[in-house]
């Protein structure tokens, strides 16, 4: 089941640099694990912002919430979720 | 070059049904031609709305505008364009 | 799978009264059929507005979109969909 | 009398972890007591956000305010209240 | 039970003058009947706008919705309802 | 002269409890003095929020500003003022 | 008593040109009469918009509403009223 | 004196095609005359929208308003004006 | 050249009282110097808010920015600037 | 490829003055290097705000993001990016 997710990160500028590096490293590892499992098939940076558009492919709302609320950056994020349905004009690939 | 596009359609409810069917048929043909050319690689319906999220893959801003402004439904759409950059956490597929 | 849906209706005040009565009757029949099937378990009027909050219980995003876009009042509605997950504080009933 | 309530929590990321655990434990106990009393019949997590949609069933506005302003997380919440009326299309259950 | 209501009227400028006079006369009669019954104890014009702030005093959400949706101007109004609780600093009068 | 005022309070959750109690006590005394003088004839809690709707009855804009900016909670408030005119449908009481 | 007023005009582009000329002529006469009476001491065009900022100097809220709701363009306007108090830094002129 | 202007065009989809072609031709001629006079030095299409960002270079606010309100598309436009000052980091060209 | 300016002040409530008094004293002196020079001809308090509406009369955008960014309270302000043109209905004084 | 960028700076008022001077000096050097390379051809101060409108001319979205996210002030900025296409009315210079 596909979800469109917009994640916007607001890290405080005065965060300790080591803490900052640590949280970003953990975020990357967490994201890449989900990508390798096929649960985060699309991930783009929004040009000019500390933000991304993502497509998540999970079993349902509960798994989606578990994955998103487990993001190391979750306490610093504004997140918008949009459920995606099939579009009638989409051609088979 | 990738662009994230949100298209929201506002067709007047009192549009003539034949005109409505015609414009929607032309929209589908236009979209599918671009999909077959590889310029509209992703297209999802936003669940519950007459709207879609799309990814367009074109040479640049001018081609993007030409394609979008040529949509048969363009006069009835609100469109938001977001340029997409590579995300540092994205794994190679 | 549960979805929270806010539906806001904007019927033009100068709609023909017979057309208006007809569309509202069809809307009620459509809604009650889904309620009887267990797919629309909650439905409340927002006090003072021509709007409702609803809970829909369907197989996934595609079925949700099919049901909502089939509403007789769909062309006159603004709709907001929110996917609902289990809350950790919820007690079993 | 039914009220639809949206609660959005903004806990500061640098809150002391013990204080955080304590306030969340008290919030859960408070919520579950009200659920057992039948005053908080519905509670859903908004997928991807630290937020919930709730239905409260209380005697009136004063009791509603007393319950909400007593939430341990109240000082960290944005709350929106919507009074719910019976919907004419609702079938008897 | 007290409700704060903001009503904003959007009558189309090209409405037939006789229709306009009729709907406004019916609105006034409807409002004054409710005032005499004690259900609409406060009514103020928002200076410079075709809008009002009102206090309604009714048995609950269902009666509130019945009264508001019966306003002759209801199809032309945007309405915001806010339930009012007792304020701890209020002195007895 | 009547003014409709919406006051929304944002006290920092980590305010010293004694300071908090002190400022709230001074706010209550200040408000009740104005109520007894007839300058703050209406005061309601907005259910579920740390906010109120008030009606102030003062000589004019300057007195209004003096009273509001003297509120002990003023530095923590967002305030919206709306001047109220007589409504043509209002019946004499 | 001074009021700051923002008036924004939305005349339909397809209004009959003679009707349009007539309403604008009546608006100008109405405005200039109030200016000569000293009740509309300031009037500026917002550069690039069909809108103005105005200062009105009237006895109170009721007179303000009477004057504004009598504007020939009132049915086509969005109006925002802000009551103005004396500023402590203002020097005597 | 430089002004940043955002112009957003909302032509009704059911405008007569000949009227539409005529107004767009007049708009282009008007714009190009001002460009040749050096008063409209920059003009870009916002990709995907019927809108533009422009830089106008005129003597002051009155000339700006005269030019903008004379645009053939002015009755169909939403316009936002921002006055531009020299930036301290700008290098001489 | 006239500019309409809305200044909204957000001084942190926990600012040191001596620092607060100092910055406010410097703001008043700065403002009154500009008023005496004829560059700040109008200044009103927005009733109920720590905010003002001002009219500035300066040579152009650069001088405007220099004056506003030099305000002692500038780091604590939200500022909105609107260039003002002559209104065709304004009578000569 | 041209991008319109709005940068809005929110430096905390209590930032250490030496740190503030340092970051602003580095921002200016960074901006001027890009200007000399032809990648930042336009830069204007928004009058009255700590903000700018810029035109960037880079190879594509990835270079744009690299340049913007490398700004010394990036952690303190809100940034809006708009891709610019050629306008059909633009005359050759």
| J32-51: average pLDDT | 98
CB H53 within 8 A of CB J81: no
Q: Which two tokens stand for residue E18?
A: 């006789």
Which residues of chain G fall short of a pLDDT of 50?
none
Does residue I93 form part of some domain? Answer: no
Structure confidence at residue A24 (pLDDT): 97
* Backbone phi, psi, residue I27, to 5°: -60, -45
Question: How far, in Å, CA of D2 to CA of D60, rounded?
Answer: 9
Q: CATH number for the domain including F74?
A: 3.30.70.1060
* Backbone phi, psi, residue H40, to 5°: -135, 70
pLDDT bracket for residue C93 (50, 70, 90): confident
Which helix (H) or strand (E) segment holds residue I21: the answer is: helix I17-36
Structure confidence at residue F92 (pLDDT): 87
Q: Which residues of E touch C49 (CB under 8 A)?
A: 79, 81
Which of C12, J25, D88 is CA-nearest to residue B13?
A: C12
Contact flag J48-I80 (C-beta cutoff 8 Å)? yes
What distance, in Å, lies between the first and last C-alpha atoms of chain J?
Answer: 18
Nearest CB to I48 within list F68, F75, F76: F68
Question: How far, in Å, CA of G25 to CA of E27, rounded?
Answer: 32
Please write the tens of the pLDDT for every residue from I25-84.
999 999 999 999 999 999 999 999 999 999 999 999 999 999 999 999 999 999 999 999
Kindly state whether J2 is in contact with chain B, defined as any CB-CB distance less than 8 angstroms.
Answer: yes
% of chain B at pLDDT higher than 90 = 98
Closest Cα in chain J to H51: J87
Structure confidence at residue D58 (pLDDT): 98
Distances (CA, A) of G19 to E17, G67, H71, J48: 16, 22, 21, 41
Q: Which residues of B touch A53 (CB under 8 A)?
A: 4, 82, 84
CB F1 within 8 A of CB F57: yes
Question: How far, in Å, CA of B69 to CA of B83, rounded?
Answer: 17
Question: How far, in Å, CA of B48 to CA of C80, rounded?
Answer: 7
| Chains H and B share 3 or more Cβ pairs within 8 Å | yes
Q: Vertex G66, ends G21 and I2: CA angle to 5°?
A: 65
Q: Which residues of A touch J64 (CB under 8 A)?
A: 47-48
Does residue G92 form part of some domain? Answer: no
How many CB contacts within 8 angstroms connect chain B with chain H?
Answer: 23
pLDDT bracket for residue H76 (50, 70, 90): very high
Closest Cα in chain D to A75: D13
CB G9 within 8 A of CB G50: yes
% of chain D at pLDDT higher than 90 = 98
Q: Which two tokens stand for residue D45?
A: 């997590």
Structure confidence at residue F8 (pLDDT): 98
Distances (CA, A) of A73 to A14, A27, A69, C63, J26: 16, 6, 9, 33, 28
Is the pLDDT assigned to residue D15 strictly greater than 80? yes
Contact flag J62-B85 (C-beta cutoff 8 Å)? yes
Which of E85, E92, I45 is CA-nearest to residue F68?
A: I45
D:13-72 residues touching chain A, CB 8 A cutoff: 13, 45, 47-50
Does residue B14 form part of some domain? Answer: yes
- What b/e readout covers F68-90, taking b as 16+ CB neighbours within 10 angstroms? bbebbbbbbbebebbbbbebebb
Question: How far, in Å, CA of J45 to CA of J7, rounded?
Answer: 10
Structure confidence at residue D56 (pLDDT): 98
Q: Which residues of D touch E65 (CB under 8 A)?
A: 85
CB A45 within 8 A of CB B87: yes
CB J11 within 8 A of CB I76: no
Q: Which residues of H touch I67 (CB under 8 A)?
A: none
| Chain G interface, best mutation among E48, E52, E76, by max G CB count within 10 A | E48
Nearest CB to G65 within list E11, E13, E48: E48
d(CA F15, nearest CA chain G) in Å: 30
Please write the tens of the pLDDT for every residue from C42-53.
999 999 999 999
Structure confidence at residue I91 (pLDDT): 96
Contact flag B53-A84 (C-beta cutoff 8 Å)? yes
Closest Cα in chain F to D10: F13
Does residue E17 form part of some domain? Answer: yes
pLDDT bracket for residue H31 (50, 70, 90): very high
Give the DSSP per-residue string, D56-81. EE-SSHHHHHHHHHT-TTGGGEEEEE
Give the DSSP per-residue string, E44-91. EEETTSSEEEEEEE-SSHHHHHHHHHT-TTGGGEEEEEEEEE--TTPP
Question: How far, in Å, CA of G88 to CA of I45, rounded?
Answer: 8
pLDDT bracket for residue H56 (50, 70, 90): very high
Does residue B36 form part of some domain? Answer: yes
For chain A, what is the domain count? 1
Is the pLDDT assigned to residue D93 strictly greater than 90? no
Structure confidence at residue A93 (pLDDT): 74
Structure confidence at residue A92 (pLDDT): 87
Question: How far, in Å, CA of D71 to CA of J12, rounded?
Answer: 32
Per-residue confidence of chain A (93 residues) as pLDDT tens digits? 999 999 999 999 999 999 999 999 999 999 999 999 999 999 999 999 999 999 999 999 999 999 999 999 999 999 999 999 999 999 987
- F66 sits in the region (left: phi over 0; alpha: psi -120 to 50; else beta) called alpha
Question: How far, in Å, CA of I11 to CA of I1, rounded?
Answer: 30
Question: How far, in Å, CA of I66 to CA of F39, rounded?
Answer: 43
Give the DSSP per-residue string, B7-75. EEE---TTS-HHHHHHHHHHHHHHHHHHHHTTS--EEEEETTSSEEEEEEE-SSHHHHHHHHHT-TTGG
Closest Cα in chain H to B68: H48
DSSP secondary structure letter of residue G22? H
Q: Which residues of H touch G11 (CB under 8 A)?
A: 75
Q: Which residues of J touch I62 (CB under 8 A)?
A: 47
The partner residues of C51 in beta bridges, in order of sequence, read C8
Distances (CA, A) of D43 to A75, C85, C87, D77, E25: 22, 10, 7, 16, 45
| D25-35: average pLDDT | 98
Question: How far, in Å, CA of C7 to CA of C72, rounded?
Answer: 13
Structure confidence at residue J89 (pLDDT): 97
Contact flag F81-I13 (C-beta cutoff 8 Å)? no
pLDDT bracket for residue I93 (50, 70, 90): confident
Give the DSSP per-residue string, D3-46. EEEEEEE---TTS-HHHHHHHHHHHHHHHHHHHHTTS--EEEEE
How many CB contacts within 8 angstroms connect chain H with chain J?
Answer: 77
Find the DSSP H helices in chain C.
Answer: 17-36, 61-69
Q: Which two tokens stand for residue E49?
A: 């706008």
Q: Which two tokens stand for residue D68?
A: 């909400």
Q: Which residues of J touch I81 (CB under 8 A)?
A: 47-49
Nearest CB to G62 within list F3, F82, F85: F85
| E19-41: average pLDDT | 98
Nearest CB to B47 within list C75, C76, C81: C81
Structure confidence at residue B43 (pLDDT): 98
Please write the tens of the pLDDT for every residue from C23-42.
999 999 999 999 999 999 99
Is the pLDDT assigned to residue B4 strictly greater than 90? yes
Does residue I20 form part of some domain? Answer: yes
DSSP secondary structure letter of residue A39? S
Does residue F32 form part of some domain? Answer: yes
Q: Which two tokens stand for residue J25?
A: 């000096």
Helix H, strand E, coil C: the string for A44-90 is EEECCCCEEEEEEECCCHHHHHHHHHCCCCHHHEEEEEEEEECCCCC
Nearest CB to H48 within list B5, B75, B76: B5
- Which residues fall within 8 angstroms of residue J80, CB to CB, at 6 or more apart? A48, J5, J6
| J16-36: average pLDDT | 97
Q: Which two tokens stand for residue A76?
A: 């610093």
User: Domain residues for D29?
Assistant: 2-83
């Amino acid at each position: 089941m596909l979800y469109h997710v917009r994640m916007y990160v607001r890290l405080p500028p005065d965060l300790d640099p080591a803490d900052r590096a640590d949280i970003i490293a953990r975020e990357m590892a967490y994201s890449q694990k989900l990508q390798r499992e096929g649960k985060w098939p699309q991930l783009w940076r929004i040009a000019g912002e500390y933000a991304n558009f993502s497509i998540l492919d999970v079993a349902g709302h509960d798994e989606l919430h578990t994955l998103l609320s487990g993001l190391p950056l979750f306490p610093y994020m504004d997140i918008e979720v949009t459920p995606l349905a099939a579009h009638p004009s989409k051609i088979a690939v």
